[in-house]
Structure 1
Amino acid sequence: MVDWINGAPPAELAAELMAAFGPHVPGSAPSLGLSEFSDWMFRGFPRRRGLIVPARPVLEPMLEAIQLLEHSELILVRWIINNESMRSATRLAWPHWPKARPRSGSGSRIGPAGNAAQIR
């Protein structure tokens, strides 16, 4: 998974991250921080436990994909809590939602995302 995130084009990673908001876009979609986006990407793997857990080496590509979504006006920063920006999907995300579904497969994280070109 780390290799895919670090090697994926920002638009493909952005499409995957957009799906983290769930089917509630634009209504009662949650506000997500970088840690929730990371948890979403690694949802098929065992959860990290402990008081101090090492950071996953995917910060830069995830921030680039999040910035792409922000510049596309599909997500926005709602507020900042404990020095972490919390982002929500905008109303503009609704027409793009069916195209921003997670990749299909039997738990495999290899292969192209949906139609990532739609959110560029």
Structure 2
Amino acid sequence: LKWAQDHCMQWHYIAPGRPMQNGFVESFNGRMRDELLNETVFTSMAQARAVIATWVADYNTTRPHSALGYQTPAAHAAKLKAMGPASPPLRGSEPGPIAQTAPHGVTSPKALLTAG
């Protein structure tokens, strides 16, 4: 909340009972639960941290993702890096920001609510 306030960002909560409002996180949480948490008995915090770190590293680097055309994130990142700097997006090709920045000079949460 402090970071959002310092950067004049509006804070939006996911509505109760509406997990589809953040599908990426729900997808990740479901996979982690099904593939790791439901299958592993942790005997200590150190072991839990090590096992989870290994799973996350695999998920983020070596596992193909359908959203990346079934490439691994590492391969996709290398492909993007090889392409060089991105050209400006075509108008309408990318979604706009979810939250708008606060009006210039407005920094307090109360002022943000008042500003709309």
Report the TM range for the smaller structure's normalisation.
under 0.3
So what's the TM-score if we normalise by structure 1? Answer: 0.24
Q: Which has the larger radius of gyration?
A: 2
So what's the TM-score if we normalise by structure 2? Answer: 0.25
Structure (1/2) with the larger helix percentage: 2
Question: Quick one: higher RCO (CA 8 Å, sep 6+), 1 or 2?
Answer: 1
